[in-house]
Every structure is written in C-alpha cells, then in structure tokens.
Amino acid sequence: MHHSVRITFVLSITLTALGLSSPLRAQSRQAPPGMFKDLDDEILGDALIIHGKQLFIDDFVISELQGVQKTLNQPVKHPQNPVLIQDQPWEEAGPGFGTVIFDKDDGLFKLWYEVQSQTEGPGKTGIPRLCYATSQDGITWQKPLIDAERGTNFVSPPKTRHFMIVGLFKDDHERDPERRYKMHYVCSPDGSEEGSIDLPQYMRSLRTSVGWSPDGIHWTAASETPQIPFSDSPSCPFWDMKINRYVSYLRYGPPNTRKVTRIESEDFMHWSPKVTVIRPSHLDGPLATQFYQTSMFPYEGHDMGLITTYHSESLSPIPQDKPWTDRKNIQLVYSRNGTTWLRVGRQGAISATELNHPDRDWKQTALDATFIPYGEMNKAWDWGTVSTVYTPAPIIVGDEIWMYYTGIDAKNWWTHVGDPPVRDPNVKEPNKGVGLATLRLDGFVSVDAGDEPGTLTMKTLVFLGDTLVVNANAAGGSLTVEAFDAEGIVIEGFGAADCTPITTDSVRHVVKWKDNPDCHLLQGRPIKLRFHLKNAKLYAIEPKILHNHYLQSYD
C-alpha cells in the first residue's frame, strides 16, 4: 500500500474511533458567524473600552436614565454590635483609631486599635498605645497576650516620641519579609516619650512618619523621621497596583485644617507634596461639616472611600432643632482614578460643579448623604459619633462587603457640658466600641425602578468576553437587556423581547438571549446596552469570559 494512502486510511480509522465519522478534510472550516471582528480606532470611535465591573455611582458609563433613579444604599449594622469593646483595665479611652484587615495567609481578621493610659494632673493627656486583636469570623474577637511585661495586648511600637494615630497595611508587593507590614504613624519629635506634655506645643509638633514590621506586632521606625508634614488623623496607606506606587490619604496641614489630602511614593520613604482632594463645599455649609479620618480602598478597579463627617462643632449641649450638632457620621466618596474624588449623595455622585452651586437645598442633600449613620440619640451604643476604621483592602465575606467603624454613646465634645461650656471633671468617660456594618456586594449605589417600568441606557462601549453578568434584585419584578449597534439599531437576536427576563435576586445573574448560547457576538464591537427595569434594583454589570472559543481551523 502506498505510504500516502496508508496514512489517510490510518487517520480515517483513528478519527472514526474518536467519534469523528468523517475524515478531517471533509470537516467544515467555516468560522461561526461573528466570531472574528475587526477593531481599530476608526471602528472604535468614541466608544468606551470596559473591563471588569461597572458601577453606577457616577455617570461615566451612563448615557440616559428614564423612569429610574439612583439610590445610595446604607450598610446594615450587625445585630451583635459593638463587636469589640473596652473590657481590659489598660484600654482607657479606647477603642479609638483603628485598622482592620483580613489576612488570607493566616485566615484571620486582624484589628489594631488605639487606647490611652491616662496620666494625672491638670492639662495632662494620656499615653497612646496600640492594641492588637484577632478573630476567626470577624465578629468574635480575641486579645492575645503580646506584652508579657505589662500583661497586655500592646504591640511593640517604633522607638519614637509620642507614637500614635496609626494607619497600616500588609504589603504583599514587598519582597523584604522584614517590611511585610507598613504603617504611617503620627509622632511628636519635640515632645517627651512618656508622662505629661504641654498640649499646645505638642499639637504644633505633630508629624507623620514611617514604620515597618515582619508580623504587624514588632515595629521598627524608619531611619529618617519624620517623612511627612502635619497630620492628626490616621493615614490610609496602601500599594496601588493601577499606578505601581504607594498611596496614602491623610489630613491637610499644617495648620490643622479639616481637609483630606493625597500623597504618593515609589519606595514608601520619599513622599510627594500633599494634594487636597476633598474639601468643604456648599453641601457642607448648612451643617457646618468638616472632615475627620478617612478609609480609602481600591474596589474592582474603582476607588471607594468612607469619610468621617463632623457637623457643627460645639462645646454646648445639642439643640433640639439641630440634632446633628457636635456629632459625626460617615459619608461615601468615590473616584475612578484615586486623585479626583466625588462626594456621593442620595442619588449618586455629585460633581464638583454641582457641589459649588448655591441654588439647591443643601441642608437636605447633606442629611441624605449619610452612608453609615450614628444611632438613635441617647439610646444606641453609637448615638453620638461614628468614625471610620481604616480598611486597606475591601473585606469580602460571602456576597457582602464588611466595614468596621468606631462609635461612642456621647457627642464629640462630651467633656464639655452646660452653657456657657465648661469642662466637667466629673463627667463619666463614654462607652466606646467597634461596630460592623455589612453591604451587598457592589451595593453602594443602585439604579432603581418601581411599579412603572424604566430604562438605563449605557454609553457606546466595547468589551471582550462572551457573558454578561449583572448584579440585580428583581425579585417581584423584572429586568431585561437589549443591545444596539453603533447606529442605534437593535442587534438581531439581542432585543428586549429575545432576553430571558431576570425575576430573582442575585449578585451574579447571567443575561441570556433565547437564540444565542452566549453573547460573544456582542464582543469587540461598539454597542449600547439598554436595561429595562420594573420593581428592580441594578447594582453593577460585568463582561466575563466563561467559555472556550477554540477553533481548529477556518477558511
């Protein structure tokens, strides 16, 4: 038998044995329709190229809203709050400023929180200490014995004067294991290490410095101290993968002005000058709002921030007609680049132009901007103030985002009572604790429709992928999606009538069109998506790649 004939015969038998009844040369080599597309700048035009989750906090991907509105969704406070309280004799004036992470390597929630050991005498202040706690579930916390000499859970701080007010993170980017954990901390180089201090002089001398640790417990100060000018609130340092730099958010100054600034570094030692990214606006006028500590963190390609907002500073009692006076709650801020930030109100992000426009009911807007509220006055454990606990990375548990905060059952200046205000030495120290609030995955801002149907139309976009996943609650309602081409014509097979209605609640709905096993025909081309909603909430969309589109050959 001729060699070529023999090879063909053997190959034919082999293919038959594999379940392929026809010889290879007889197989179709025609690519499925729409599998391959051309894409260049002329075809792309002004379409947005999107990757990953798209949130609807701002209007970046939104072309038009009809019959729907955005809604700021508040996290739910955990029923076991406060989850951590002062229950040890050395935890005076605590728990205060803090940082919490979930360490995936150790499988532990880890919390660092500040307390003070009080000193005696007029004009004296406490000695700040940093405590450490761990938890298996993020709700029940243990305070391990670390400082054997004192019998406490104090960490071993950098050797510096007046170490306090810490923001820290675990740096998975760092190659040196001795510097795995990094912190920004406030110190007072001109003060004394322990004992009483002159408070005005001490406040003027505050600086921000750098420290690191192999385990988050034993800390070393950087050789150069300080690195950063004044701050008297915790910093928010982290490694930003989008720009390959360290970033930190901290207080403006000097002088002590309640604004939020941003700095960057390539090595965590040399830092850029401060750039102010959040400052008061018309929104803040009616409630005389100022900004305390923040918690900024990357989230699915976006930048989220919780900001402690302090309203109407006063040493006097809270007036009945202005119940927000001398209290703090938490608002939401948002950015797509980490540098320009948007305040978020009841109906989503508010641009800087809007914020500085006086013709608006800014009092109601400010009240509606509350993300994590303080509790019911004189009743709840956190009725006086709630403040952020820094989370360098989002803590995702199941399908929820977990956020921690501190609360107290007193107004901010609880030490002053009466009118005129006087410091009352007999006033009892308020109860303080750390609380947990949980939010649906992607649940910051949703696009909502009620009994009357409405639509959200996205801007022209291009994505690569074969599956459209949406986070939506359509229980008791419906959600369908249709796709248009660049000319605004409905793409065949992808109309609203072709879409299988979503009628349940899930963070991972897969959108399906009846004649299409997936949506690869939509990928790699400029399209517009329109969402039809009735009694539904849409939180986010995400193009995904869930199938294998390998083709053996094509003509």
Tokens of residue 458, six digits: 């996205």
Contact 456, 440 (CB under 8 A): no
φ and ψ at residue 117, rounded to 5 degrees: -95, 115
Contact 366, 284 (CB under 8 A): yes
Q: What confidence score (pLDDT) does residue 126 get?
A: 67
Local confidence band at 114 (pLDDT 50, 70, 90 cut-offs): very high
CA dist 477 and 447 (Å) reads 14
Q: Position of tokens 């009357």?
A: 452
| Adjacent-strand bridge partners of 347 | none
pLDDT at 366 exceeding the cut of 70? yes
Contact 412, 327 (CB under 8 A): yes
Local confidence band at 189 (pLDDT 50, 70, 90 cut-offs): low
Contact 210, 182 (CB under 8 A): yes
Q: Which CATH architecture has domain 31-73+446-544?
A: Sandwich (2.60)
For residue 226, the one-letter residue type is: P
What residues does CATH 2.60.120 cover in the chain? 31-73+446-544
Q: What confidence score (pLDDT) does residue 14 get?
A: 43
Considering the chain, what is the average pLDDT of its residues? 89
Q: In what order do the strands lie in the sheet with 108-117?
A: 98-103, 108-117, 127-135, 141-142
| Adjacent-strand bridge partners of 295 | 306
Q: What confidence score (pLDDT) does residue 36 get?
A: 87
Tokens of residue 270, six digits: 């040399």
What percentage of the chain reaches a pLDDT higher than 70? 88
CA dist 387 and 453 (Å) reads 39
Contact 72, 369 (CB under 8 A): yes
CA dist 368 and 346 (Å) reads 5
From residue 290, how far is each of 235, 304, 308, 327, 372 by CA, in Å? 17, 19, 9, 11, 16
From residue 78, how far is each of 282, 393, 453, 473, 546 by CA, in Å? 33, 20, 34, 22, 35
* Strand segments (E) across 6-61: 48-49, 54-55
| Interacting residues of 171 by C-beta distance below 8 A, sequence separation 6+ | 179, 180, 181, 182, 239
Q: What confidence score (pLDDT) does residue 27 get?
A: 56
pLDDT in tens, 93-110: 889 999 999 999 999 999
Contact 241, 298 (CB under 8 A): yes
Of 273, 268, 270, 276, the C-alpha closest to 251 is: 276
Lowest-confidence segment of 245-259, 314-328, 470-484 by average pLDDT: 245-259
Contact 455, 66 (CB under 8 A): yes
pLDDT at 167 exceeding the cut of 80? yes
What is the length of the chain? Answer: 555
pLDDT in tens, 240-279: 999 999 999 998 876 667 899 999 999 999 999 999 999 9
| Adjacent-strand bridge partners of 167 | 184
Of 37, 5, 189, 75, the C-alpha closest to 442 is: 75
Of 277, 280, 299, the C-alpha closest to 290 is: 280
pLDDT at 197 exceeding the cut of 80? no
Helix (H, G, I), strand (E, B) or coil at 252: strand
Contact 131, 354 (CB under 8 A): no
Q: Which CATH architecture has domain 76-442?
A: 5 Propeller (2.115)
Q: What confidence score (pLDDT) does residue 125 get?
A: 53
